[in-house]
Chain A
Amino acid sequence: QQQVKQSPQSLIVQKGGISIINCAYENTAFDYFPWYQQFPGKGPALLIAIRPDVSEKKEGRFTISFNKSAKQFSLHIMDSQPGDSATYFCAAPGRPNAGGTSYGKLTFGQGTILTVHP
């Protein structure tokens, strides 16, 4: 099974600081690496994603860095705000499988609980 290892498990930063969350993955059927954000009592929601043709993707204060050779990618949150306090999940597609359904499989990391203090 696809393994997606996420760290740290929890993270506390001060308002205005930089939050960094890391993920490592194994072989995937294709290169697509999203980050999801989840608030208490809600389902996860897509935050930002990177596709195979770039090594970095930036949307506002959120940036994904992607290192294909190391099979790692990370989320950077610049100028962290208390409203960013949530659980963050990285995800990766499944490995190629004999049934040919791996293109529909998305495996998530263990999650990082981010707390931003005012």
Chain B
Amino acid sequence: NAGVTQTPKFQVLKTGQSMTLQCAQDMNHEYMSWYRQDPGMGLRLIHYSVGAGITDQGEVPNGYNVSRSTTEDFPLRLLSAAPSQTSVYFCASSYSIMGGYTFGSGTRLTVV
């Protein structure tokens, strides 16, 4: 099993550009989430999903869109990149919150 796979690992964007961060898991997990990690801010929840077709907003959803058309994939779209979106992004999945999340290795995004 590959676990949770995030691509790309590194990305530099110009302000105003859009892009999609990919996240795929092969564990048949229903629950998936996107977090961003910034120094001193911990892990902040952007969006989460409890199954295909069901998504909801987290703490910091503005500027990001998600969709969940399959159980395996949960892409995160940046609509118009801003320097404030420079961060490390983590995708995570779980069969149950109480089962513990499996995190991907992260995408380091820099917006210039």
Total number of A-B contacts with CB less than 8 angstroms? 71
| Contact of B35 with A108 in the complex, beta carbons under 8 Å | yes
Contacts of B48 in A (CB 8 A): 101, 104-106
| Contact of B105 with A42 in the complex, beta carbons under 8 Å | yes
> Which residues of B in the span 81-112 have a Cβ within 8 Å of any Cβ on A?
90, 92, 97-98, 100-101, 103-106
Which of B56, B58, B98, B103 is the one whose CB lies under 8 Å from A43? B103
For the complex, would chain B's binding face be called helix, strand, loop or mixed by DSSP majority?
A: strand
| Contact of B97 with A106 in the complex, beta carbons under 8 Å | yes
Contacts of B92 in A (CB 8 A): 43
Residue A9 at the B interface, CB < 8 A? yes
| Contact of B43 with A44 in the complex, beta carbons under 8 Å | yes
CB distance from A31 to the nearest CB of B (A): 10
Contacts of A97 in B (CB 8 A): 56
Give the A interface residue count (CB, 8 A).
28
Residue A69 at the B interface, CB < 8 A? no
| Contact of A43 with B31 in the complex, beta carbons under 8 Å | no
Instruction: List the B residue with the shortest CB-CB distance to A9.
Output: B40
Contacts of B106 in A (CB 8 A): 42-43
> Which residues of A in the span 73-108 have a Cβ within 8 Å of any Cβ on B?
89, 93, 97, 99, 101, 103-108
| Contact of A109 with B97 in the complex, beta carbons under 8 Å | no
| Contact of A93 with B97 in the complex, beta carbons under 8 Å | yes
A residues near B, CB below 8 A? 1-2, 6, 9, 32, 34, 36, 42-46, 49, 51, 89, 93, 97, 99, 101, 103-111
Question: Sorted from nearest, which 7 A-B pairs have the closest CB atoms?
Answer: A43-B103, A46-B100, A104-B50, A110-B42, A108-B43, A101-B56, A111-B42
